[in-house]
Amino acid sequence: MSKSNKRNKKIYLDYAASVSSNPSSIHEFGLLAKQKLENARHEVASVLGARSEEIIFTSGGTESNNLAIQGIVYGIGVPLPHIITTNIEHPSVLETFKILEKRKLAQISIVPVEINGIVDPKKIKKEIKKNTVLVSVMYANNEIGTIQPIKEIVREIRHYKKINKRNNIFFHTDAIQAVNYLDLNVEKLGVDMLALSGSKMDGAGRVGVLYKKNSVSLSPVFGGGDQEMGLRPGTENLDAILKFSVAITQIQKIKEKEIKRLKILQNYFFKKVMALGAIINGDLENRLPNNVNVTFSKIPSDLLVIELSAKGIMISSKSACKSSHAEGSYVIKALRPASDPEIGGLRFSFGEKTTKQDIDYTVKIISEILTKLKKWYS
C-alpha cells in the first residue's frame, strides 16, 4: 500500500459514542451523519408543510403522543391544567390522560363520540374551561377507521380563544393511522402538534415524529441529553429516520391512486359482508379507505379471529396495542354502550398487496364459518 493510501485511510476510534456514526459527534463521520439527519428532517417537514426545526424524531408514535401531552402539562405553568380528549383515542393518548389525572397533574374531560364514531366539534368546545391548555383528538381511529373533523374542531377552539382572549390552548392530533391516506399539511389542518409513526408505512423505520409548531413550548419528558432541540434525549436512530423520510416522501407520489383502488375494494367488501348480516362499525363515508370494521351479532369477535386465522386470513378484533387484554374493545363499546363486550368488532385492514381475489376468498370463508358457528350462537 502506498504512503498516499495510508494517509487517506479512515480510522474509526469512537465506538464508545456509537457503533455507527453519531450525529452529535464533531468528527468527520459525525458531521456526515448530522447532515443526513438534517436532510431527513427537511424531507419530513416538506411533506407536512412545516419548518425543519418543528420536526422532532422519537422512538415511535407512543412516545410522540406522550411528549406532546405530557410536555404541555409539565411546561404550561398553569396550576392543575385541564386537558380534553375523546373516548376512542389510542391507548397512548387515553391512558396518558388517565395517568396524569390519577397523579393529580391534570384535570381531564373525555368527550364521547357519536354513534357513527365521530366526535361533535361543538361538544369539544363546550368542555373548554378557564384552565384548559390542550385538546387532543386523533385524525383517524385505529380500530374503526373513522376520520375526525380536525379542521372544524380547530375552528371551534380558535373561536373560543378569540372570544375569551386566550392564546394558551393547544391542539394535538394523533395522525398515525392517517399517514398513508389523508392530507398531512399542518397549516391546512391548523394543528399545533401532530404525531406520526414509521410502523404504519411500508419500508419505513421503527421511528416516530412529532411536529411541534414553533409557538408551542414543551417540557421534555425524559432527561439525559440535548438531542432533538433538547426535547428528546438519546442518540437518534439514523438508519430508521432515513427510511422514514424516504417512505413518507414516496407515499405522496402514489397516495391518490392507491386511495381510489382501496376505496373500490372497501365498498365491495362492505356490500358482501352486509349481505352476510354484518353490522358496520363507524361512519360509512368518513373513514379510512383501507378499513372495514364489522360485528356479527351474538358471535364473539375473538372466536372469529381464531377461525379466520385457521384458514390463513389474518385480522384483528381490537387495537394491537390492547390485544393482550381480556376485555372487549372500548372503541366498539363507545359506539354501542349496551352491546355485549365479548361480541366486539372485527377489523379488516387492507394494504398495497390486497386484491379483489383476497376479498372474495375472505367473504367465502366468513360465510362458511358463520354457517358453522350459528349452530351454537343462534
Q: Which of the listed residues 221, 250, 279 is the one where a domain comes to its end?
A: 250
Is there a single domain that holds both residue 245 and residue 264? no
On whether residue 378 sits in a domain, the answer given is no
Measured CA to CA, the distance from residue 204 to residue 209 in angstroms comes to 12
Tell whether the model's pLDDT for residue 17 goes beyond 70. Answer: no
Task: Report which of residues 28 and 144 the model is more confident about.
Answer: 144
CA angle 199, 292, 261 (to 5 degrees): 80
On whether residue 53 sits in a domain, the answer given is yes
Measured CA to CA, the distance from residue 17 to residue 338 in angstroms comes to 56
All 3 cell numbers of residue 40? 431527513
Tell whether the model's pLDDT for residue 1 goes beyond 50. Answer: no
Is there a single domain that holds both residue 228 and residue 246? yes
User: How far is C-alpha 152 from the geometric centre of its chain's CA atoms?
Assistant: 19
Is there a single domain that holds both residue 295 and residue 246? no
Tell whether the model's pLDDT for residue 320 goes beyond 50. Answer: no
On whether residue 3 sits in a domain, the answer given is no
Task: Name the band, by pLDDT with cuts 50, 70 and 90, for residue 315.
Answer: very high
Decide if 342 contacts 298 (C-beta within 8 A). Answer: no
All 3 cell numbers of residue 275? 349481505
Tell whether the model's pLDDT for residue 5 goes beyond 60. Answer: no
Q: pLDDT digits over 240-297, tens only?
A: 999 999 999 999 999 999 999 999 999 999 999 999 999 999 999 999 999 999 999 9
Q: Specify the residue for cell string 358457528.
A: 373
Identify the pLDDT of residue 86: 98
Q: Which residues are catalytic?
A: 321
H helices within the chain, ranges in order? 3-8, 28-48, 61-75, 91-102, 121-126, 150-164, 186-189, 238-275, 301-310, 330-335, 356-373
Is there a single domain that holds both residue 67 and residue 110? yes
CATH number for 91: 3.40.640.10
Q: How many domains does the chain have?
A: 2
Measured CA to CA, the distance from residue 57 to residue 238 in angstroms comes to 10
Is there a single domain that holds both residue 288 and residue 217? no
Is there a single domain that holds both residue 279 and residue 214? no
On whether residue 5 sits in a domain, the answer given is no
On whether residue 320 sits in a domain, the answer given is yes
Is there a single domain that holds both residue 49 and residue 186? yes
On whether residue 166 sits in a domain, the answer given is yes
Is there a single domain that holds both residue 149 and residue 242? yes
Q: Which of the listed residues 250, 270, 288 is the one where a domain comes to its end?
A: 250
Question: In the chain, count of helices (H) and strands (E)?
Answer: 11, 10
Task: Name the band, by pLDDT with cuts 50, 70 and 90, for residue 16.
Answer: low
Is there a single domain that holds both residue 270 and residue 309? yes
- Domain coverage including residue 336: 255-373
Q: pLDDT digits over 110-166, tens only?
A: 999 999 999 999 999 999 999 999 999 999 999 999 999 999 999 999 999 999 999
**pLDDT above 90 coverage of the chain, percent:** 80
On whether residue 48 sits in a domain, the answer given is yes
Q: What is the mean pLDDT of residues 89-113?
A: 98
Q: Which of the listed residues 203, 230, 250 is the one where a domain comes to its end?
A: 250
Residues with Cβ within 8 Å of residue 83, at least 6 apart in sequence: 69, 72, 73, 97, 100, 106, 107, 108, 109, 132, 133, 134, 135, 136
Is there a single domain that holds both residue 181 and residue 274? no
Is there a single domain that holds both residue 126 and residue 238? yes
Dihedral angle sign, alpha carbons of residues 93, 94, 99, 104: positive
On whether residue 236 sits in a domain, the answer given is yes
CATH number for 336: 3.90.1150.10
The string of DSSP letters for 169-196 reads -EEEEE-TTTTTTS---HHHHT-SEEEE
Is there a single domain that holds both residue 21 and residue 110? yes
Task: Name the band, by pLDDT with cuts 50, 70 and 90, for residue 169.
Answer: very high
